[in-house]
Amino acid sequence: HVQLVESGGGSVQVGGSLRLSCVASVDTIGRYCMGWFRQIPDKEREGVAGIESDGSTSYADSVKGRFTVSQDSAKDILYLQMHSLKLEDTAMYYCAAVEKDVGTKLLRLRPSSYTFWGQGTQVTVS
């Protein structure tokens, strides 16, 4: 069973930056496919970014060029660096993991591809 704990959320002004972190169980990062998702009330969970064990990444069109996903396998931490934040980036952000590479952008950004989820961290842009 993989445990994921997100942190780094908070309140930021439009145009600002935040870096989210997701601490994972030992030997997860770099071996699992990892994803960042976000959700606002009454909306479906949306894929933001995904990264395979080989470092291949995918991004939602809405965040491409502003967000960067990265991983530190030595520390078992997944990151989401967010720049140029917009009002519409306000959401609860979750990290997720699955014990296989899923191979395509579509699958990396699909919630049903993932098995393990963190509890989320709130990002509010105003």
Where is 108: in which H helix or E strand? Answer: helix 105-108
Q: 57-111: per-residue pLDDT in tens?
A: 999 999 999 999 999 999 999 999 999 999 999 999 999 999 988 888 888 999 9
Confidence bin at 29 (pLDDT 50/70/90) = confident
- What does the pLDDT read at residue 90? 98
Positive or negative torsion for Cα 110, 120, 77, 65: positive
Please state the rounded mean pLDDT for residues 47-52: 96
What is d(CA 92, CA 58) in angstroms, rounded to the nearest whole number? 20
pLDDT category of residue 112 using cuts at 50, 70 and 90: very high
CA dihedral (109, 27, 5, 75) positive or negative: negative
